[in-house]
Every structure is written in structure tokens, then in C-alpha cells.
Structure 1
Amino acid sequence: MVQALRLATVADLPAIEHIVEAAYRPYVVRIGRKPGPMLDNYAALVEAGHLHVLVLDGDIQGILVLIPQADAMLLDNVAVAPAAQGRGLGRLLLLAAEDFAREAAYRRIRLYTNEAMTENIALYSRCGYAETHRIEEKGLRRVYMEKDLG
């Protein structure tokens, strides 16, 4: 299994959008609408240099969106193609996000997820993230979590 994590390019947009659609589609019924990541502008994220892709044996199998903020790196999105799930790629992307944050001299990484995505909240908790607050934003009930990188 040959893998590489690299910055996304415009040529990657069809694969990125396919992964996002497939990874988040199961949550539409649970949430009652499309989750936030299904509404994002991935071309703009690629242009800004915020989007990385995980390439496995020549195919894009995961994405990672990192947005620098004043006090923490925001892990805005992590998604793995459904066919590649269950192989530890999500955890690999989380670790990569933490490494990128450290390299950028951040002491903290922050993320949010929909409160209906209980399995994601559990995964993030197992990976050392602690819930900081819950809020409704853009009509979505979000759970914010942080991890100290110090």
C-alpha cells in the first residue's frame, strides 16, 4: 500500500467532491439536511492551499482541510472514501493534521462536528480531543473539540 499526503490541486476536485458526497451522504437523514462539509467550496479551499489529499495506490482516498486561525489550527474537514474506511486512514489523517499544526507552531488543534455524528465525537475523544462547547451555527448543531499539542 503506497500512500502519500499532498496538497490538492484543481485536477483533484472531482475526486474530492466524490469523497465528500459519499462520506457525508449517510448523515443527511440523521441530521435532516446536508452536513456543512457537503456545502463547502472545495475549489476555494484548494486555491487557498488548505486542502490535502491522501493518495493510496494512485487514487485519492481521503481529504484533510486545515485552516490556520489566530489561536489554533482548525481541522475543518477530514473524510475518507467509504471503500477505504476501516483501514485506519481517518486516524492517519488526524495525526497528520496534528503534525501540520505543530510544524506551523500551533499549540492547539480545534475541530467541530455535528452533534448527530456521535461516532465521530467518540473517535475524536479516543484520539485525545476534549469537548469545549456546543453551539448552533448556520442551522447546524455543532460540537467543538480541542486537543493540546504541547
Structure 2
Amino acid sequence: MDADHAAAVATGLVWVAEQGQRVVGLLVLEIAHDHALIENVAVSPDAQGLGVGSRLLALAEQQAGERGLREVRLYTHEAMTENQEYYRRRGYRETHRSRGSGFQRVFFTKDL
């Protein structure tokens, strides 16, 4: 991941999930005037299936709700079909697809 998350860290919009002394998950959230955007959510391969991702998504939704926002958005690469199904199972719906930064992306939203 090439993203520079310094600004998000400075504003307190980055969270990590830990297992013992290890970081096993990451959430980077951006707040817009009418929605929250999950800029990045990632779970270590050896921690997948343990509920880490679900807890991080729930945290994003909680943070959005606490700020009076009624929508959470996210996107993933078109090739990440397992991620797409994962988001659908958690109540996110696909809104559109577009190419950006050389990648074909699939965009999702969830109403809170």
C-alpha cells in the first residue's frame, strides 16, 4: 500500500486491531460532510475469519453515526471478488464501478 496516512493519523481517524502484541488489522476513515469513507480496511491473512474485519467495519459505522452521518462508503479492486461478497454480506450495496489510478474499482455504500 502506497498511501500516506499521516494526515489521517494526525486527525485520529486511524485505528488498529491488535492480537496480543501484534497488529492484525487497520482501519483508515475519512469524514466528508454527508458520509464517512473507509479509505482502507485490512486484516492480516492469519487473522482473517476471526471477526477482525467485521469489528473494524462496525467501528467505522459507529464513528460515522457518532458524527451524525447516515452513510458509510468504501471501494475495492474489481479483482477482489471475495471482498465484494464480504461487504455485501455485511449490508453494503454496490453503487458503481470506475477506473481510477490505473485500477478498476467497485464502490459500495451502506445506509446507517
Query: Which range, TM-score by smaller chain?
Result: over 0.9
- Cα offsets for 1:63-99 (capped at 9, x unmatched): 0010001221001111111221121111111111111
* Corresponding residue number in structure 2 for 1:44: 7
| More strand as a share of residues | 2
* Corresponding residue number in structure 1 for 2:16: 53
Does structure 1 retain, via aligned residues, the 8 Å contact 2:8–2:29?
A: no
What's the RMSD between the two structures over aligned residues? 1.2
Structure 1 residue ranges without an equivalent (≥5) = 1-37
Alignment partner of 2:86: what SS? Answer: helix
Alignment partner of 1:39: what SS? Answer: coil
* Corresponding residue number in structure 1 for 2:62: 99
* Corresponding residue number in structure 2 for 1:138: 101
**Alpha-carbon separation, structure 2, partners of 1:73 and 1:59:** 27
**Alpha-carbon separation, structure 2, partners of 1:45 and 1:74:** 12
Q: Does 1:126 align with 2:89?
A: yes
* Corresponding residue number in structure 2 for 1:77: 40
**Alpha-carbon separation, structure 2, partners of 1:87 and 1:58:** 16
Aligned pair count?
A: 112
State the 1:45 CA deviation: 2.8
Per mean C-alpha deviation after superposition, the further-off stretch among 41-50 and 90-99 is: 41-50
State the 1:58 CA deviation: 2.8
State the 1:101 CA deviation: 0.8
Aligned residue type for 1:134: R
- TM-score, length-scaled by structure 2: 0.93
Structure 2 residue ranges without an equivalent (≥5) = none
State the 1:138 CA deviation: 1.1
- TM-score, length-scaled by structure 1: 0.70
**Alpha-carbon separation, structure 1, partners of 2:45 and 2:61:** 23
Q: 1:111 aligned to 70, 74, 79, which one?
A: 74
* Corresponding residue number in structure 2 for 1:89: 52
Q: Greater Rg, structure 1 or structure 2? A: 1
* Corresponding residue number in structure 2 for 1:27: none
